[in-house]
Amino acid sequence: MIKLREIAHARAGDKGNTSNISVIAFETRHYEHLREHLTPQRVREHFAGIARGEVLRYELPLLGALNFVLHAALGGGVTRSLALDAHGKSLGMLMLELDIPEPAAGPGAGGDQKG
């Protein structure tokens, strides 16, 4: 197992009580691995106790990215929450702590990096 942060980075945003987290593969060859292992159910389990609503996933294969929308995840929203990080920006960092299986080494393992 590896931490997600070893093969991807994340960006997070918010709107009201909804957090939006994009996970972007460092290398295009890892996109399918991310798609296989970062299911909405797996992300919902990882954010148990934080995301109290539906977790949706949108696939962006041309960008090598997955976008997750976590409903009811920000304690009512920026103006209502007493959370230290009311905007949910740290949820992107929490996403990168998720454990996933290590990708298999295969063709292109030498560095098919996006550029």
Separation of alpha carbons 19 and 98, rounded Å: 17
Please give the structure tokens belonging to residue 2. 């590896």
pLDDT score recorded for residue 14: 83
Q: Which fold has domain 2-76+83-100?
A: Alpha-Beta Plaits (3.30.70)
Q: Would you say residue 37 has pLDDT above 80?
A: yes
Please give the structure tokens belonging to residue 53. 């609503």
Banded model confidence at residue 81, pLDDT cuts 50, 70, 90: low
Q: What average pLDDT does this structure show over 22-29?
A: 97
Q: Would you say residue 91 has pLDDT above 80?
A: yes
CB atoms within 10 A of CB 24: 18
Higher pLDDT, 109 or 32: 32
- Domain ranges for the chain, please list them: 2-76+83-100
Q: Would you say residue 111 has pLDDT above 50?
A: no
